[in-house]
Amino acid sequence: MSINVEPLRKILELECEKGYIDSAVIGGLDKFLRRWAGQVIESITNPQLLSHFHRLRLVDSDYASLTEQQRKQWLNEVLAFLSAAEHMEAEKGEVELPKESIVPSPPVAGRRSLGVGGQSIDSSITTLRGVSTSLAAKFNRLGVKTIRDLLYFFPHRHLDYSQRKYISQLAEGEEQTIIANVWQAQVTMLGGRRGTEAIVGDETGNVRVVWFNNPYLAKKLPTNTRIVLSGRVGLFGGRHVFESPEWELVEDRELIHTGRLVPLYPLTQGLRPRQVRKLMKQVVDQWAWQAEDFLPSELRQRCNLVELPQAISQAHYPEDEAAKDGARLRLAFDELFILQLGVLGRKHDWQESQPGNPFSAKTPVLDVFTKSLPFELTAAQHRVLEELLADLEKPRPMSRLLQGEVGSGKTVVATAALLVAAANGYQGAFMAPTEILAEQHFANVCQLLSRVGHQVAAEDNLRSYSGILSHPLTVALLIGDINQARKQEIQHLITGGDIDIVIGTHALIQKEVEFHRLSLAVVDEQHRFGVAQRSALRQKGFNPHVLVMTATPIPRTLALTLYGDLDLSVIDELPPGRQVIKTKWLKPAQRDSAYRFLRRQAAEGRQAFIICPLVEESEAIEAKAAVAEYQRLSRDVFPELRLGLIHGRMPAVEKDEVMHRFRSGELDVLVSTPVVEVGIDVPNATVMLVESADRFGLSQLHQFRGRVGRGQEQSYCMLLAENPSEISRERLDLIEKIQDGFQLAEEDLRLRGPGEFFGTRQSGLPDLRMAKLSDVALLELARSEAIRLFETDPNLEMPEHHLLAKELAQVWQKGGEWS
């Protein structure tokens, strides 16, 4: 801004000296100011200054109509603006407003302004004038404690009240803004309750305005008040009526509630929209400038991002849509960037700080194993196995996420890796989320090994095979449910190094379990384990290689966010001959026909799953509901079939027993609670019937569906939906059409948002307010910038990264669990 502000300053100071009587210039200050503003506005290039400038409304100033007090305040603000402008000029455009001379917000009649003395941006909001303890308590409930928190308390959306209309132009049904005179306002009965009714007019006509349930407003709108109204216009008796519009007096110098993009804040009980908007306006005007921009300016420019103070203020009170978008982009980038720096830092700590245990992958055992399989590995399995082996040979520990559809054959690949660990003289662990799954993995792994070697010992939960390694290869199952003495025995064997591969549940990460030489940990169905469990297993070994597997196809964006510390492998191909599972969603009226269908399949010797309605209260209630459903089905619906029941509350032996009978064909129908969604493999099962399907996410339904279609016979998935909402219908339509899990996951994410993607127990998903995980490009940008930064300054020690390091520490400290 290369303008001489000196003449203007002189005039304003003169006006102050003369006692604010609008006598400093002939023709009035307004005319002068408007002319001056019109001339200089072009030359202001600094966005901060420009934003100040707009806020002061110099181009359409209305000094003449202000009270003396207001004049005084406003002039002070304009003078402060001039010094700020000069200051910036002196600094050659370096944006740093002096802390004390920031431009305060414009005057509002009767408003107390907020104090700055002694406060900092990290002061409690109670230090803000106008914030009472009770108001502060309400904000605290929303997680807002400091002024900084308040600046980051963003509106969830904006109403566009920026289009001003004349009364004659008003159209029914649209959100519109007018500026008018109040002719008359009075308390009246509206819909049986007291409200306010007013007639307002401008040069083009009059319009009626009603506010329901708000009789107090009448008093605030004496005749001849100039008022701005924003809201929806309805039609009553052929005439336009404003219905409960937002309102604001014209004397309020800058519009907050009307005539612009108006922020809508997330509110809890007791916070009033107008109150919050007013407070936010004051705080943003006064404090946003003090938010230090922690992004290195070179990065900011490269990525085309606006400066932080501007982003914060425009996120609240944007000048227009473009400014709002620019602000969101910047703030969303910050969140993703800080997140990526954090996960990359974690990866760095794990992989670089301590050496791992490099394996030799050139073991003849591997060849023998793959040749022994009753099938050829798919190309994708081969590729992923190569990726794993390459990791295992490195001196730094593997940290890899393996994604693959249900039935894509992850277990075989994991077993091969565990075998390599054993061949190198190390122990491997395989952790599953449920006992049923752990048991099944144990059975599968044993079966695979029995094709390679000879079983030489078979005790409870323990098998040994000779002819594979130089010593007998021993596999154990460790779950919570086995008897104490046996558990201790197995723990003892693990500690002594007598067990090569241990398969189990959470029982594996209990403190009693000490490994002899754990160096590969495989975690199945990762999304059910939190980061904490993952690292607990990591702690069990000397920096072991970690492989986490999931059949929940996680969209790439989410994978980069949640598991950004892991490398990604994908088995994107199913073994040949897998069929399309015919999927149909049904209304309750069609339940009987679903039962008939199931009966016919059973008559042909096929088997079926019935998933009980979802009960969220507790596992116990869910189990009880499942028992009732099982009894009803056995007695009233399928008296001629053999039914079994399985739920989370049953002792493991019983579950095992039921599973065994189902697998061996002694049962026709397995009634189950939703807990057993994962991993169960029964090729003869061809029918999956899911109750209350509308209450599950797409990915979960896809998991259920994956239980069938594992054999040669055509399989079917029937989804019963009690009372699906519109969005549920959309989901159900999608799963009918789409077989591909990844595509479904993307759709699920789009429909439900990341918060619900994993159900209620999301594993450490950080708090993203501005960023959307559907924003792939921005996420990739943040990640590549984070990697770039990491390459030059991994510990953020360079002076230009000082603020960034501080911000990183602050954010990651707040996010406790995921750090």
Which two tokens mark 776? 């792939």
Which of residues 225, 351, 408, 728 is near ligand ADP by CB under 6 A?
408
Which of residues 195, 345, 404, 453 is near ligand ADP by CB under 6 A?
404
Pairing of strands 607-611, 685-690: parallel
Helix (H, G, I), strand (E, B) or coil at 58: coil
Given the complex with ligand ADP, which of 281 and 441 has the nearer CB atom? 441
Given the complex with ligand ADP, which of 37 and 682 has the nearer CB atom? 682
Beta bridge partners of 431: 504, 523
Given the complex with Mg ion, which of 391 and 525 has the nearer CB atom? 525
Given the complex with Mg ion, which of 230 and 411 has the nearer CB atom? 411
CA distance 704 to 688: 7
Given the complex with Mg ion, which of 209 and 449 has the nearer CB atom? 449
Q: Which residue is nearest to ligand ADP (CB)?
A: 409
Residue 110 to residues 102, 107, 181, 221, 454, Cα–Cα distance (Å) = 21, 8, 21, 16, 90
CA distance 66 to 57: 14
Which of residues 553, 679, 709, 766 is near Mg ion by CB under 5 A?
679
Rule CB under 6 A: is residue 569 a binding residue for ligand ADP?
Answer: no
Shortest approach of Mg ion to residue 549 CB, angstroms? 7
Shortest approach of Mg ion to residue 440 CB, angstroms? 8
CA distance 717 to 637: 19
Which of residues 78, 151, 339, 406 is near ligand ADP by CB under 6 A?
406
- Full DSSP string of 399-461: EEEEEE-TTS-HHHHHHHHHHHHHHTT-EEEEE-SSHHHHHHHHHHHHHHHHTTSEEEEEETT
Given the complex with ligand ADP, which of 408 and 673 has the nearer CB atom? 408
Shortest approach of ligand ADP to residue 604 CB, angstroms? 22
Q: Of Mg ion, ligand ADP, none, which one sits near residue 381, judging by CB under 5 to 8 A according to partner kind?
A: ligand ADP
Given the complex with Mg ion, which of 310 and 703 has the nearer CB atom? 703
Rule CB under 6 A: is residue 166 a binding residue for ligand ADP?
Answer: no
Q: Of ligand ADP, Mg ion, none, which one sits near residue 732, judging by CB under 5 to 8 A according to partner kind?
A: none
Shortest approach of Mg ion to residue 407 CB, angstroms? 8
Number of residues that bind ligand ADP (CB under 6 A): 16
Number of residues that bind Mg ion (CB under 5 A): 1
CA distance 551 to 572: 11
Using CB under 5 A, which of the segments 252-260, 287-295, 489-497, 673-681 binds Mg ion? 673-681
Site string for ligand ADP, 681-720 (x = CB under 6 A): x---------------------------------------
Shortest approach of Mg ion to residue 588 CB, angstroms? 33
Using CB under 5 A, which of the segments 45-53, 196-204, 679-687, 723-731 binds Mg ion? 679-687
CA angle 689, 690, 692 (to 5 degrees): 145
Edge-to-edge order in the sheet of strand 473-478? 454-459, 462-466, 473-478, 501-504, 427-431, 518-523, 545-550, 399-404, 567-571
Rule CB under 5 A: is residue 409 a binding residue for Mg ion?
Answer: no
Rule CB under 6 A: is residue 552 a binding residue for ligand ADP?
Answer: no
Name the residue among 404, 419, 410, 407 with its Cα closest to residue 372.
419
Contact between 733 and 719 (Cβ < 8 Å): no
User: Which residues within the stretch 368-387 sit at the binding site for ligand ADP (CB under 6 A)?
Assistant: 375-378, 381
Rule CB under 6 A: is residue 548 a binding residue for ligand ADP?
Answer: no
Which of residues 55, 410, 606, 663 is near ligand ADP by CB under 6 A?
410
To the nearest 10 degrees (0 to 180), the angle between helices 308-316 and 47-56 is: 40
Which two tokens mark 111? 């408003």
Shortest approach of ligand ADP to residue 689 CB, angstroms? 21
Name the residue among 442, 441, 446, 443 with its Cα closest to residue 456.
446
Name the residue among 647, 579, 636 with its Cα closest to residue 613.
647
Shortest approach of Mg ion to residue 679 CB, angstroms? 4
Contact between 150 and 125 (Cβ < 8 Å): yes
The DSSP symbol for 143 reads T
Exposed (0-12), middle (13-18) or buried (19+): which is 544, by Cβ within 10 Å?
A: buried
Shortest approach of Mg ion to residue 408 CB, angstroms? 9
Shortest approach of Mg ion to residue 441 CB, angstroms? 8
Rule CB under 6 A: is residue 522 a binding residue for ligand ADP?
Answer: no
Residue 23, amino acid = S
Which two tokens mark 742? 């990844």
CA distance 392 to 564: 19
Q: How many CB atoms lie within 10 A of CB 539?
A: 14
Secondary structure E strands in 555-693: 567-571, 582-586, 607-611, 643-646, 669-672, 685-690
Given the complex with ligand ADP, which of 683 and 815 has the nearer CB atom? 683
Shortest approach of Mg ion to residue 551 CB, angstroms? 6
Q: Of Mg ion, ligand ADP, none, which one sits near residue 356, judging by CB under 5 to 8 A according to partner kind?
A: none
Rule CB under 6 A: is residue 551 a binding residue for ligand ADP?
Answer: yes
Rule CB under 5 A: is residue 706 a binding residue for Mg ion?
Answer: no
Residues that bind Mg ion (CB under 5 A): 679
Positions touching ligand ADP (CB under 6 A) are 375-378, 381, 404, 406-412, 551, 575, 681
